[in-house]
């Protein structure tokens, strides 16, 4: 098969995993426990995709270092175990990823999650073997800086015009633009369609099934 793209790089939360509401719930409960002021759920949802320190400083600009460290720990506890909001793959995701690998695509992950958090989810969801490489915000620059994409391209020896970024936030799409890569937006995650489309993705999909169909025709 003659593939337009050799490599497809996925964001994690809100793109492959339906975790947006769990992130919001965990962040709000952690903030209440630490003593930070209450904010609207939309303010938390808007920063999904950033590295955690950058996200916390965006939502709470007055946060000090002790509060930042406390939030990092308490948020992780809620997200991993204490939040009662369900979380899992969007329907069809494991089969979709397996099919892409069978067709000859290289797959990678570029995420605002920590390395510890991503590795735990890859293990728990039994999906890590599908990805040739992964990059997390705590081991490189946070989105929308393009460094994590450039590192993945270098590691896998793929040119920018041979790779596709798939994500649900403007941070993903802006990162792809800065790296000279094409992108596809996912409208089932954290950011609204209009702001995603303003970033110039090739298309916007609203389910994994739509994305699979688009790649089959265009990828």
Single pTM value for the model: 0.90
Residues ≥6 apart with Cβ < 8 Å to 143: 49, 50, 51, 110, 112, 137, 169, 171, 172, 174, 175
What phi, psi does 141 have (nearest 5°)? -80, 145
| Domain 7-19+89-218 CATH (choose: 3.50.50.60, 3.40.50.1000, 3.60.20.10, 3.40.50.300) | 3.40.50.1000
Q: Tell me the helix, strand and coil percentages in the chain, rounded to 5.
A: 50, 15, 35
List the catalytic residue out of 11, 18, 172, 174.
11
3-state secondary structure 127-146: CHHHCCEEEEHHHCCCCCCC
What is the CB-side half-sphere exposure of residue 185 using CA atoms within 13 A?
22
Asked if residues 175 and 151 have their Cβ atoms less than 8 Å apart, the reply is no
Q: For 175-218, what is each residue's pLDDT tens digit?
A: 999 999 999 999 988 888 999 999 999 999 999 999 999 999 99
| Domain 20-82 CATH (choose: 1.10.150, 1.10.1790, 3.90.1210, 3.40.50) | 1.10.150
Q: For 159-172, what is each residue's pLDDT tens digit?
A: 999 999 999 999 99
Active site annotation includes 13: yes
């Amino acid at each position: 098969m003659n593939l337009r793209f050799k490599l497809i790089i996925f964001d994690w939360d809100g793109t492959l995993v339906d975790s947006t509401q769990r992130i919001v719930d965990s962040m709000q409960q952690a903030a209440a426990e630490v003593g930070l002021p209450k904010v609207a759920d939309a303010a938390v949802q808007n920063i999904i995709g950033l590295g955690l320190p950058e996200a916390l400083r965006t939502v709470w600009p007055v946060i000090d270092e002790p509060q930042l460290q406390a939030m990092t720990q308490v948020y992780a506890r809620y997200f991993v175990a204490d939040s009662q909001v369900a979380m899992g793959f969007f329907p069809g995701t494991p089969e979709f990823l397996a099919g892409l690998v069978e067709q000859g695509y290289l797959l990678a992950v570029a995420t605002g999650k920590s390395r510890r958090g991503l590795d735990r989810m890859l293990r728990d969801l039994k999906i890590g073997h599908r990805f040739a490489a992964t990059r997390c915000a705590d081991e490189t620059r946070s989105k929308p800086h393009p460094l994590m994409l450039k590192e993945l391209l270098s590691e896998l020896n793929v040119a920018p015009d041979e790779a596709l970024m798939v994500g649900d936030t403007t941070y993903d799409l802006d990162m792809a633009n800065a790296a000279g890569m094409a992108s596809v937006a996912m409208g089932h995650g954290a950011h609204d369609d209009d702001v995603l489309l303003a970033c110039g993705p090739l298309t916007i999909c609203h389910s994994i099934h739509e994305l699979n169909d688009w790649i089959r025709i265009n990828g």
